[in-house]
Amino acid sequence: MADLEGLTTSIETGDRAAATRATQQAIDDGLNPQAILDAMTAAMNNVGGRFQRNEIFVPEMLIAARAMKEATALLEPLLVAADIRPEATAVIGTVKGDLHDIGKNLVGMMWKGANIEVIDLGTNVPPERYVEAARSHDARIIGISALLTTTMTGMGDVVRAVRDAGMGDVRIIVGGAPVTAEFAREIGADGYAPDAGSAVEVAKAALAR
Ligand code: B1M
């Protein structure tokens, strides 16, 4: 029987086998994918809090992140609709200097599920790479993720690089834990999403403009 609390605990402790088992069980039992994802995200929030209180350190964060990644990979097919022609292409990446990619990957999955083709540039992406990829893939959306207060300022560099390249019709959407709607406005982004679910609505609204 599905055990979402057990799923949270197994990700928190970095037990990959238990995390994937619990995820598969929850899927097989027909639980709502969003509820499964919420149990996983709760684990990462607990991990973040414990890191802040110096109860755990980077290696523990890393093994929790690995367990989360393996577990979310099982969820991906449920979040992605198959066999439909993409409405638009988006390139997505985590900003230069930043290696966090779980949130970015979730946004990518949700966009795929919303019929947007996603070109994932990975992490530590410099501004010129977003520009080149958007141009070569004829993308209409650029998604930038940042998890660190020290790297979020780099999002402004990406916006400038895209505008300087004369790509005014490309919509830039930003997000990540330290990012706010006000910050997004300040740097001239076209949209801000606080989570992967709302990133779909924000992308659709940006495409409709
Ligand atoms: Co890091 N880390 N980390 N870390 N880490 C945080 C972010 C931190 C808040 C922990 C803490 O202190 N409580 C803190 C940042 C403090 C700050 O700047 N304010 C921190 C730190 C300090 C660091 C290091 C500097 C630690 C060190 O080395 N001393 C270091 C930096 C490395 C670097 O990037 N250069 C570091 C390293 C790491 C690991 C590598 C160990 C690992 C990342 C592994 C990986 O991603 N592959 C890691 C982890 C796992 C975390 C926490 C625990 C979890 C992040 C996560 O995956 N959350 C995190 C604490 C926390 O967030 N509670 C922390 C789950 C994920 C689903 O949420 O990414 O927020 P999130 O994504 C959400 C939304 O933000 C939004 O949608 C997602 C889903 O709903 N969203 C978007 C994200 N991107 C979006 C883009 C959009 C729209 C919405 O549009 C394009």
Q: In angstroms, how far is CA 8 from the centroid of its own chain?
A: 19
| Residue nearest atom 76 of ligand 1, based on CA coordinates | 195
What are the structural domain ranges in the chain? 4-81, 88-208
Cα 96 to ligand 1 centre (Å): 14
Segment 56-80, tens digit of pLDDT: 988 898 899 889 889 989 988 887 6
Would you state the pLDDT for residue 84? 46
Q: Which residues of 193-208 are buried (b: 16+ CB within 10 A; e: fewer)?
A: beebeebbebbbebee
- Closest Cα to atom 66 of ligand 1: 103
Is 147 near ligand 1, meaning CB less than 6 Å away?
yes
The yes or no reply on domain 88-208 and CATH 1.10.357.10 is no
Place of tokens 């949209």: 191
CA of 46 to the centre of ligand 1 (A): 12
If you take atom 73 of ligand 1, which residue's CA is the nearest one? 103
Task: For domain 4-81, say whether CATH 1.10.1240.10 is its number.
Answer: yes
> pLDDT tens across 131-147, in order?
999 999 999 999 999 99
- Which is higher by pLDDT, 34 or 70? 70
Query: What string of DSSP letters covers 154-192?
Result: HHHHHHHHHHHTT-TTSEEEEE-TT--HHHHHHTT-SEE
- pLDDT at residue 191 above 80? yes
